[in-house]
Amino acid sequence: MDRDSNRAAVTRAGRSKGRHRAASEADRPSSQAFMASGPDGHPPANTGESAMNANKLSPSAQSATSMTRIIAMVGIAIFFFLAISTYQLVKSIESRESLKNVEKLYFPVLIKADSSVAIMDKVSDEYVKAVMTAAGEKGVAAHALGVEAVHNLEEMAKLFPGNSKDLDQIRAQFQSYNDEAAKLDDDYLNHRTVLRDWLPRIQELNANLAKTRDALKSFRARCYEEFSRTLDKTRSAMQSNLYLSLALGMMNLCFMGVLVYFIRNNLRMMALVADQNMNLEKRVAERTEQLAQKTNDIQTMLQNMPQGVLTIVAGSHIHPEYSAYLETIFETTSIAERGLMDLVFSNTNLGADTLSTVEVSVASVLGEDEMNYEFNSHLLVTEFNIRMEDGRTKSLELSWSPIVNEAGVVEKLMVCVRDVTELKRLASEASTQKRELEMIGEILSVSQEKFQDFMQTSMAFVDENRTLTEAASGPTAELITQLFRNMHTVKGNARTYGLGNLTNTVHEAEQTYDDLRKGQATEWEPKMLLEQLDQVRGLLDEYAKINDTKLGRKGPGRRGNVEKFLMVDKSQVAQTLQAMQGVDMDNVDAMRAALVETQKLLRRIGTERLQDVLAGVTESLPSLARELGKEPPVVAIHDNGVLVRTQISGLLKNLFTHLLRNAVDHGIEAPAARAAAGKPGVGRIELDVEIAGDDLRFVLRDDGQGMALDRIRQIAADRGLVEASTILSDEETAQLVFLPGFSTAEVVTEVSGRGVGMDAVKGFLEREGGRIDVRFLGASTGSGHRLFEFVIALPATFAVSN
């Protein structure tokens, strides 16, 4: 601003300078004519000068103090200027006066003095001449001349009142001379006197006249001196005035120079400013374009992002700048300026109170200090379901962010809306699967047998509770206690086995009974209790299903993990230990008996019952039978107390998988055929085990139709295993089934994994020192079938008898 005002000052000064300069140029005399008049008026150069001087400083001095400094300097300059001008003026007036004096006073005086002197001289001569020439008229003329001189002197006195005394004296003297001289002359000429008298008188008079003339001359000299002194003074005053004017003129020129400099600067600055202005405009245009670009980019983002973003402004309505996806979510284009509650929170599954809380919270946060957001943000709903016009529901998630300005006030609330319907569905599916996986994990951590036990007992308890509840007419202490105890047991077991997905439900049911027991719940609501039991039962069923079908662990399973550890019946060990402990150490027989018992026990280590080994197979037979449209057969295993070593359990499993399934597949007939043959609908498979000498012998037979020898022959011929022409005995035919390539069907079970072909099984058997034979029972029937049994032998070392 200072610069502006100074620029204005410069321009003002410039303008004023121009005006005044014009005036002073006109007025200013040339150096020669300085006598006529002096520099007149106020050369405003000083004002301009001081202003410009001030301008030299002001760009750097930018405060009010510099302003006063400038004003002070200007003031001082003006003062000096006025002083000088006044001095000049005074001086020039003085000079004029002096010169006037010269003109009006000295000149006339001097002239008169000179003329008087001249007259005096002439007069004295004339008087003498008059006498000499006896020309009375000369005397008269001389007297008249004298009178003229007297007049002169009179006038001089008048003009010179200061010296009038001298002049009067001179005049008086001269007048007296004049008169006397005239008289003398007259007297002489009129013969009143003689020359002898006239001469000395006239000489005396002339002597006096000489004195008078001297006085006058000295007066004249004095006057002349003053005159020339005055002239000198005037001249010197004029000279000094001239110099001053010259100096002022020089200063003027300098200031003009400075002014030109400043004007040039100004012009340059203006050019610079104009240049910068243009630059600025260019930059503004650039920035505007950048801004437009940015706005465009942001708009593009808003239009394309797959998230609904909106901002809520004061008044709880929605700002017109929102992301386009919002329209997709809410299936409407009417969003801008709508109220938040109207657009987002109508047709939701939120309760009226929740909605009201949200509304109040939003109102409490907008336009308030951000601490209010901290206070209330937890009340801003983050997920809910919304129903569309056509009845579909969507699940929406909201993220809230406060937009805070520098004063710490929440100006707007930004809300990000996500459609999570699909996500939720997937999550729910995943969670279902997760639950199932959890349950599988839980089940697997329990041994098959124990799990089976648990299932059976728990289901039994639940069923019992159901029965009791249904039958009861009212709550009795006994009933409630029983119900509680059952459930408590189930819970305890479930907990022990870590079946987490079960325990909670069971616990709730147990608590219900507990509340009834403690008298806290007084209502006997059989319906509710039964529902609860159904829930528990449902869960148990779920577990069972997973266990049986998904995991294929149906049945009690094999006892113990065979890889590393051997499991022995705990009770047996306990018994034996007890027996050993109680042995009378002094009694040899008792000790022997104890020893035998221990041996027995030890021998039983690493052995299993055949039933357990084959459990998986036998349990899978019913479903196989059903698949084949046959009645599940009865499998009777007579093990005669033989326990087989775990080492061969795999082999036995493989073997009997084939044999038993074949029995069901090929041996046991369909119910119709059986009925026709007069057999009971349910087939029977029998497996005998015994230790005979060095052999561990298995005999497997079924009451089906026997071996289809014809068919076997056919298949073998088809497969190219025998020549079609070759005749084979029944025994030879029977052996064909053990040929590799006879049956390419692999037996796959969920439990035993992939089976191997019969030939492989025979190979395993023989490798272990065993053998398998087919023993026909009875004669060949002629229908191509012949009843038979398999006889398998293994070294007896693979078994122990109990």
Query: Which residues contribute to the site for other proteins (CB under 8 A)?
Result: 356-357, 360-361, 363-364, 367-369, 371-372, 374-379
CB 633 within 8 A of CB 682: yes
Question: What are the C-alpha distances in Å from 412 to residues 307, 313, 319, 354, 364?
Answer: 19, 5, 9, 21, 12
Would you say 316 or 743 has its CB closer to other proteins? Answer: 316
Q: What are phi and psi of 648, to 5 degrees?
A: -100, 5
| Minimum distance of other proteins from residue 358's CB (angstroms) | 9
Q: Cα(664)–Cα(578) distance, rounded to whole angstroms? A: 46
Q: Which long-range contacts (CB under 8 A, 24 or more apart) does 727-732 make?
A: 730/776, 730/780, 730/786, 731/774, 731/776
Amino acid making up residue 718: D
Q: Cα(150)–Cα(174) distance, rounded to whole angstroms? A: 7
Would you say 356 or 623 has its CB closer to other proteins? Answer: 356
- Reduced to 3 states (helix: H, G, I; strand: E, B; else coil), residue 771 is strand
CB 69 within 8 A of CB 57: yes
Q: Cα(280)–Cα(51) distance, rounded to whole angstroms? A: 32
Would you say 357 or 511 has its CB closer to other proteins? Answer: 357
| DSSP structural state of residue 135 | -
Would you say 274 or 360 has its CB closer to other proteins? Answer: 360
Q: Cα(338)–Cα(410) distance, rounded to whole angstroms? A: 20
Would you say 369 or 449 has its CB closer to other proteins? Answer: 369
CB 506 within 8 A of CB 536: yes
| Minimum distance of other proteins from residue 351's CB (angstroms) | 13
Would you say 362 or 747 has its CB closer to other proteins? Answer: 362
| Minimum distance of other proteins from residue 362's CB (angstroms) | 9
| Minimum distance of other proteins from residue 380's CB (angstroms) | 10
Would you say 359 or 548 has its CB closer to other proteins? Answer: 359
Would you say 366 or 617 has its CB closer to other proteins? Answer: 366
| Minimum distance of other proteins from residue 377's CB (angstroms) | 7
| Minimum distance of other proteins from residue 360's CB (angstroms) | 5
Would you say 410 or 652 has its CB closer to other proteins? Answer: 410
| Minimum distance of other proteins from residue 413's CB (angstroms) | 14
Tokens of 802: 């109990």
| Minimum distance of other proteins from residue 404's CB (angstroms) | 14
| Minimum distance of other proteins from residue 361's CB (angstroms) | 5
Would you say 191 or 378 has its CB closer to other proteins? Answer: 378
| Minimum distance of other proteins from residue 345's CB (angstroms) | 15
CB 628 within 8 A of CB 680: no
Tokens of 755: 């089976």
Would you say 372 or 598 has its CB closer to other proteins? Answer: 372
Q: Please compute, for residue 175, the number of CA atoms within 13 A of its CA located in the half-sphere on the CB side.
A: 12
Distance of CA 206 to the CA centre of its chain: 131
Would you say 344 or 687 has its CB closer to other proteins? Answer: 344
| Minimum distance of other proteins from residue 398's CB (angstroms) | 17
CB 418 within 8 A of CB 307: yes
Q: Cα(350)–Cα(184) distance, rounded to whole angstroms? A: 160
Burial 488-513 (b: 16+ CB within 10 A, else e): bebbebbeebebebbbebbbebbbbb
| Minimum distance of other proteins from residue 317's CB (angstroms) | 13
Strands (E), 612-675: 634-638, 642-645
Would you say 371 or 673 has its CB closer to other proteins? Answer: 371
Spatial CA neighbour of 34 closest among 87, 83, 92, 94: 92
| Minimum distance of other proteins from residue 356's CB (angstroms) | 8
Would you say 371 or 574 has its CB closer to other proteins? Answer: 371
CB 202 within 8 A of CB 184: yes
In three-state form (DSSP H/G/I as H, E/B as E, the rest C), the secondary structure along 471-535 is HCCCCCHHHHHHHHHHHHHHHHHHHHCCCHHHHHHHHHHHHHHHHHHHCCCCCCCHHHHHHHHHH
Distance of CA 88 to the CA centre of its chain: 79
CB 362 within 8 A of CB 413: yes
CB 607 within 8 A of CB 639: no
| Minimum distance of other proteins from residue 307's CB (angstroms) | 26
Contacts of 801 (CB under 8 A, 6+ apart): 640, 641, 642, 643, 691
Tokens of 671: 């119910």
